[in-house]
Structure 1
Amino acid sequence: MQARQLPAQRGFAWLGEGLQLWRRNPALLTFASFGYLLLLILVSVAPFIGQILASLLTPVLSLGVLNTCRAIDAGRKAGPDVLFSGFQQNLPALIIIGAINFAGVWLVLGLTAIADDGTLFRLMTSGGKLDPDIATSGGFTMALLIAITLSTPVMMAYWFAPLLAGWWKVSAPKAMFFSFFACLRNWRPFLAYSIALTLFGAILPGIVLGIVGMVSPTLATLLSVPLPLLLIPIIFASFYTNARDIFGEPDNVPEQA
């Protein structure tokens, strides 16, 4: 389990490779992506424990999506049940990863209260509308900066952790440790990848829909409905392609780091 250090241009390639993977089996990848999102939404609305349970299950179900991508990449036949394959791959470690990530996110939100007296915390946990005056205040801006700065290492520790725990059978702390340093070693391709995601997922669709909307608002509305059906599975597939690029396949690498 050796993390490769890749050049920056590989970050732009991950999204294109995700598109190629989606084209090989768009139906299965779309099912897995939206099935993952739908299940987490349904679980999260459960009273009292919904958010906690959803956080614990997120690594398990995300591994199912990665297993779907892996099956498509290998040319293996797979059915909808592959989404639940994470329950059979080092489940205790996956649950612990979800718990650590949940605790990290809440800790970060709690620390933002130092800057804005808990406004961002309440907004993220309870919902509601944000007062425009508060949104432009210095305290709220500082809280956002704290959240972005502190949540980045949490995200880095989580990014590859479900895959490492599920495919290489390592413990949750070890998976998160290697995930963090794999992201750190590859900050350049990840920066390029984030730029590609912004262009592909937000800016270009916005430009296209804006141009179409100038001609026909109705047509722009109709186009905006199926757009997530295309974008979301491709983005999920790109998560797999960057993991494959950095760590390779379990059958092709040594078991020990």
Structure 2
Amino acid sequence: MQAAKLPFLYGWYWIQEGMRLFKLQPAALFFWSLITSILINLSNIFPIVGQMVLIVLVPTMTFIIQNACRRIHQGEVIRLGMWTEPLKPAPVRNRLIKLGLIYLLACLVVGFVATFPFVNELSQLMDNSDATPQEVMAAFRKPIILFFVLYLGLSALFWHAPALVGWHAIPVKQALFFSMVACWRNKAAFLLYGLCWAAAFFAIQTLGGLLLGAGFSPGTATMVLTPINLTMAAILYASFYPAYRSVFGDPMRDTEQG
């Protein structure tokens, strides 16, 4: 697999393409965003186990939405039964589940590495019942920053991997390698991509603060922000496909699978 090296502004182009795909079939992509949100909330009902299952499913869910966006790009209308069609071949399912299990293991390792250097400090904080919120935030700041830095590398490993194992039947190890190389070659574009999304979600949070400051109840603010958040998430998910396609080309060029 040859990964293209794209200019810095492609980070914004991917978002624009995500918006275009959303405009083509807003109901389908909003539906997927809603389903994803429900799954996230359900995972929180079962602490630890629920989150672990959700993490394992991330590559599968990524591949599902990329297939849907490919079909939208080709002018097809997404119907309910089409969502799970890419998972019908057993080899595809097996590779995606294997990728999900590796992703879970990698997340656990990153979490351990990020917190281990600060175990003593965090243990002392847990034993101190008089700790202030400011002290708690200060104690967790370093491990959170370290986790964020490590997770960036982890994200690069897995960013394109679901599409590579699903569409091109590439072995998981090779897919992880190709994904890392592709993200590194396009690090400038991904930097802009990440900054744009960070700014977008910061703006939504700011809007929430403004609504509360204007005297709206938390319930009203939630009613206003929920559809906005779901729409933004739908565009984010839709942007995964153009990011892949611009780097690796048409996924159906080498295979008709999916």
* TM-score category of the 2 structures, normalised to the smaller one: 0.7 to 0.9
In structure 1, give the amino acid aligned to 2:243: N
Partner Cα separation in structure 2 for residue 7 and residue 48 of structure 1: 40
Q: CA RMSD in A?
A: 2.9
Compute the TM-score of the two structures, normalised by the length of structure 2.
0.82
> How many angstroms does 1:147 deviate by?
1.1
Which string of whole-angstrom CA distances, capped at 9 and with x for unpartnered residues, describes residues 68-121 of structure 1?
Answer: 111111111321233323422511111111111111110111122332217889
Partner Cα separation in structure 2 for residue 240 and residue 41 of structure 1: 25
Count how many residue pairs are aligned between Structure 1 and Structure 2. Answer: 245
Matches within 5 A, 1:217-236: 217=216, 222-236=223-237
Q: Which consecutive unaligned segments of at least 5 residues does structure 2 have?
A: 124-131
Helix, strand or coil for the counterpart of 1:157? helix
Contact 1:120 1:143 in 2 (8 A): no
User: Does the C-alpha gap of structure 1 residues 156 and 76 become closer, same or farther in structure 2, counting only changes over 3 Å?
Assistant: same
Helix, strand or coil for the counterpart of 1:31? helix
Matches within 5 A, 1:185-204: 185-203=185-203
Partner Cα separation in structure 1 for residue 121 and residue 65 of structure 2: 34
Partner Cα separation in structure 2 for residue 213 and residue 141 of structure 1: 27
> How many angstroms does 1:13 deviate by?
1.4
Partner Cα separation in structure 2 for residue 68 and residue 98 of structure 1: 20
Helix, strand or coil for the counterpart of 2:78? coil
Partner Cα separation in structure 2 for residue 73 and residue 119 of structure 1: 51
> How many angstroms does 1:198 deviate by?
1.5
Helix, strand or coil for the counterpart of 1:152? helix
Contact 1:112 1:143 in 2 (8 A): yes
Partner Cα separation in structure 2 for residue 41 and residue 28 of structure 1: 20
> How many angstroms does 1:221 deviate by?
5.2
Contact 1:17 1:238 in 2 (8 A): yes
Contact 1:31 1:80 in 2 (8 A): no
> How many angstroms does 1:241 deviate by?
1.6
